[in-house]
Amino acid sequence: MDKLQLTARRRRPLPLFAVLMAFAVTSARAQTSDYGQPAPDTTQHARLFTRADALILGGFIAGAAAISPFDRQTANEIREPDAQSSRVASHTANVFNFLGSPGTLLAGVALYGVGRIGHYERIADLGLHGTEAIVVSAGVTYLIKGFAGRQRPRQAGVNNPDDFSFGGGFAPGGGSSFPSGHATAAFALATVVTMETHRSWPHSTWYVAPIAFGGATLVGFARLYTNAHWASDVIMGAGVGTLTALKVVRFNHVSNANNRVNRWLLAAIPAPAPALNGRGAMLVWSFALPR
């Protein structure tokens, strides 16, 4: 009986992490149906930040706080030889690590390029705002990492998740674990994809959202599997990415839809032109600079 109880206690962290990630995905998905919808042109409805933002951020912070006492157990459990011996799991983790970064950024830029070259306005819109969300959330994550200065599991020897050093993340070789940048980027893109497709094709949300957020969740698990982050890092990264993407889409479609970046980049016209050396051709982008 004692052995069974010990095994049950040891196996608790990963299911708890899965539950918290499911809650995070559900919370993010619940918000994406309403955010980004055209609103009346009034100051009250055009606000960039709303009360819902505090609830979203609070939920992710609470999730990170709930899993943090199990960070050490989760890291030890997922690094057990039985878990690490699977080649399929290892290759899959490497794939999703790449998809988290730089895959998300490459996808955003590619969607924008395809949209402009093919004159698919909605795809260009999705790619531009997805890229914006990834870049902005990366900046937010960089600042949090810098101030938190948390050591990664591989640096801290798996047994010290409490190794924080205020401002230490800005120093060369300093701790850069909290929050997860890969999870931030993955959830930022997942949120934008869900919101933008919901705007254009509302009935697509029921299958787009599970695919997008499911992929982002697997990026989070990949970061744990490769011993790159603590579980609480991933939860908080998901929160930063989701909330940042909500703000980016709201800014571009509700609060300031006619901003200069939209007028400039979404009006870019690609056209073929002869190469400078007279051989071959190249693609030139012409921009109508905003006034």
pLDDT in tens, 253-286: 988 888 888 888 887 666 555 655 656 555 555 5
pLDDT tens-place string over residues 202-260: 888 889 998 999 999 999 999 999 999 999 999 999 999 999 999 999 999 988 888 88
The answer to whether position 20 is within a domain reads: yes
Q: Which helix (H) or strand (E) holds 151?
A: none
Question: What value does the mean pLDDT take over residues 9-22?
Answer: 64
The answer to whether position 127 is within a domain reads: yes
Which pLDDT does position 117 carry in this prediction? 87
Question: What value does the mean pLDDT take over residues 61-89?
Answer: 89
Which pLDDT does position 140 carry in this prediction? 97
The answer to whether position 30 is within a domain reads: yes
The answer to whether position 1 is within a domain reads: no
More confident site: 48 or 42: 48
The answer to whether position 2 is within a domain reads: no
The answer to whether position 274 is within a domain reads: no
Domain limits for position 97: 12-266
The answer to whether position 273 is within a domain reads: no
Tell me which residue of 258, 273, 10, 247 sits closest to 129, measured CA to CA. 247
The answer to whether position 282 is within a domain reads: no
The pTM of the full predicted model, rounded to 2 decimals, is: 0.85
Is 194 buried (19+), middle (13-18) or exposed (0-12) by CB count in 10 A? buried
Structural domains in the chain (count): 1
| Sequence-separated (6 or more) residues with CB below 8 Å from residue 37 | 199, 253, 254
Is 89 buried (19+), middle (13-18) or exposed (0-12) by CB count in 10 A? middle
| Sequence-separated (6 or more) residues with CB below 8 Å from residue 263 | 288, 290
